Chain A
Amino acid sequence: MRITRLAAAAGAVAMALAMAACGGGDGDGDGTGSSSSSGVVDKASKDKKLVIGVKADQPGLGLQSGTTYTGFDIEIAKILAKGLGVPESGIEWKTTVSSNREPFIQQGQVDLVVATYTINDERKKVVNFGGPYYVAGQDLLVAADSTITGPESLDGKKVCSVTGSTPAKRMQTDYPKAQLQLLDSYSKCVNLLASKSVDAVTTDDIILAGYAAQEQYAGKFKVVGKPFSTEPYGIGLKKTDTAGCNKINEILKASATDGSYKAAWDSTLGKSGKAAPELDVTKLTNCS
Chain B
Amino acid sequence: MNVFSDPANFDVYVTGFLWILKLTIGGTVGALVLGVLLAAMRVSPVPVLRGFGAAWVNTFRNTPLTLIIFFCYFGLYATLGLTISDNLERNNYWLGVIGLAVYTAAFVCEAIRSGINTVPAGQAEAARAIGMSFRQTLTMIVLPQAGRTVVAPLGSIFIALAKNSTIVGTIGLAESSNAMKELINANGDVVIPIFLVFAGTFAAVLIPSGYAFGWLANRLAVKR
Do these two chains really belong together in a complex?
yes
Q: Which residues of A contact B (CB under 8 A)?
A: 22, 26, 99-100, 102-107, 122, 126, 158, 163-164, 179-184, 191-192, 195, 197
Q: Is there a chain A Cβ closer than 8 Å to B171's Cβ?
A: yes
Secondary structure call for the B interface: helix
B192's nearest neighbour on chain A, judged by CB, is A22
- A193 CB to closest chain B CB (Å) equals 10
| Given A103-B185, A105-B188, A195-B78; A158-B170 close (CB under 8 Å) | no
Contacts A22-B192, A103-B191 known; A197 to B77 CB distance under 8 Å? yes
B173 CB to nearest A CB, Å: 9
Question: Do A183 and B185 touch across chains, with their CB atoms under 8 A apart?
Answer: no
Please tell me if the beta carbons of B172 and A182 are within 8 angstroms of each other in the complex: yes
| In the complex, B11 has a CB within 8 A of chain A | no
User: Would you call B61 an interface residue if the criterion is a C-beta within 8 Å of the partner chain's C-beta atoms?
Assistant: no
The chain B residue sitting closest to A194, CB to CB, is B78
List 27 contacting pairs A-B, 8 Å CB cutoff, sorted by A: A22-B192, A26-B191, A99-B182, A100-B185, A103-B184, A103-B188, A104-B188, A106-B188, A107-B191, A122-B186, A126-B186, A126-B187, A126-B188, A158-B88, A163-B172, A164-B182, A164-B185, A179-B87, A179-B88, A179-B89, A180-B88, A182-B174, A182-B178, A191-B74, A191-B78, A195-B78, A197-B77
> In the complex, A105 Cα to B171 Cα: how many Å?
26
B181 located at the interface, meaning its Cβ lies under 8 Å from any Cβ of chain A in the complex? yes
Complex: chain A residue closest to B83, CB-CB:
A197
Question: In the bound complex, do residue A102 and residue B188 qualify as a contact, i.e. CB atoms below 8 Å apart?
Answer: yes
**Cα separation A105 to B188 with both chains bound (whole Å):** 8
How many whole Å from B30's CB to the nearest CB in chain A? 23
CB pair A184–B170 under 8 Å, yes or no, is yes
The reply to whether B172 and A197 contact each other, CB–CB distance below 8 Å, is: no
In the assembled complex, how far is the CB of residue B33 from the closest CB belonging to chain A, in whole angstroms?
28
CB-contact partner of A163 in B74, B88, B92, B182, under 8 A: B182
Alpha-carbon gap, A179 to B170, bound state (A):
17
* CB neighbors of A among B71-123 (8 A): 74, 77-79, 87-89, 92
Of chain B, the residue at the smallest CB distance from A159 is B88
Q: A164-B181, A197-B78 are in contact. List 18 more A-B contacts (CB 8 A).
A: A26-B191, A26-B192, A99-B182, A100-B185, A103-B185, A106-B188, A107-B191, A122-B186, A126-B189, A163-B172, A163-B181, A164-B182, A179-B89, A180-B88, A181-B88, A182-B174, A191-B78, A195-B79
B interface residue count range (under 10 / 10 to 19 / 20 to 34 / 35 or more): 20 to 34
- Distance (whole angstroms) from the CB of A241 to the closest CB of chain B: 15
Among A26, A195, A197, max chain B CB count under 10 A is at A197
State the 3 A-B residue pairs at the shortest beta-carbon distance, nearest first.
A103-B188, A106-B188, A179-B88
Set of chain A residues within 8 Å of B178, measured between Cβ atoms? 163, 182
Give chain B nearest CB distance to A110 CB in angstroms. 12
Query: Shortest distance in angstroms between B86's beta carbon and chain A's nearest beta carbon?
Result: 8
- How far is A179 from B182 in the complex, measured between Cα atoms in Å? 18
User: In the complex, what residue of chain B is closest to A123 when comparing beta carbons?
Assistant: B186
* Distance of B71 from chain A, by nearest CB (Å): 14
Minimal beta-carbon separation of A126 from chain B (angstroms): 6
A274 to B184, CA, bound (A): 37
Q: How far is the CA of A232 from the CA of B181 in the complex (A)?
A: 25
A67 to B149, CA, bound (A): 54
* Residues of chain B lying within 8 A (CB to CB) of residue A22: 192
In the complex, the chain B residue whose C-beta lies closest to that of A125 is B186
CB-CB nearest in chain A for B178: A163
What's the least CB distance linking B40 to chain A, in Å?
36
Complex-state Cα separation, A99 to B191, whole angstroms: 13
A-side contacts of B89, CB under 8 Å: 179
Within the assembled complex, what's the spacing in Å between the Cα atoms of A103 and B181?
10
| Partner of A192 from B78, B87, B182, B189 at Cβ < 8 Å | B78
Nearest A residue to B174 via CB reads: A182
Residues of A within 8 A of B172 (CB): 163, 181-183
> Complex formed: what's the CA distance from A100 to B185 in Å?
6
Q: How far is the CA of A122 from the CA of B174 in the complex (A)?
A: 22
Instruction: Evaluate contact between A106 and B189: CB separation under 8 angstroms.
Output: yes
